Structure 1
Amino acid sequence: MKNANFNLDPYIQEFGIKVKDDMAEVTGRVLPAPILQYGGRNRAIATPNQGVWDMRGKQFYNGIEIKVWAIACFAPQKQCREEVLK
């Protein structure tokens, strides 16, 4: 943030906005993984293992279309290239 020098930007100055050099610190938490129910003859629940649901050979119980989704990558730009995320 310090290297970006946002406070020297003429548009920021024109609107009277101030940008702090330090990032805001917030308390985070790891949410429990959602339970996935899949169907077919033997309806069962999938539990993730190391952040992954193994759904190979399984049929979803009640699938839906995902209309809006996003990816948040907080890694350095060299490690999180846009073309890889696409």
Structure 2
Amino acid sequence: MSAREEEERRAYLNAIRGRLGFTQTVMARCLDMSLRAYSAIETGASPCRKIHVLAAERVLMEQAAKRPNAALLTTPLRDDIKALVADAVELPG
């Protein structure tokens, strides 16, 4: 993964936390991570892997459903959900 891709992931992770209005402490708890580990990912001291982004998106979906507020969803996540629903509608039976 290039440095640019990793920075984009890190920015996306931070944007998700911002949409939720969570502190790093709360987001770390939601991801079942220590604050130190989560902070290291956000600051670039540790790599931001795809699994971190996927886990954060899962938290975002859960919170959007609980509140309920679909506006919390990021555009990429909203697009994935729309595609999934469209595929499900096309399935027989």
What is the TM-score normalised by the length of structure 2?
0.23
Q: Could you say which structure has the higher strand fraction?
A: 1
Give the helix-richer structure, 1 or 2: 2
Q: Which has the larger radius of gyration?
A: 1
Greater relative CO, 1 or 2 (CA 8 Å, sep 6+): 2
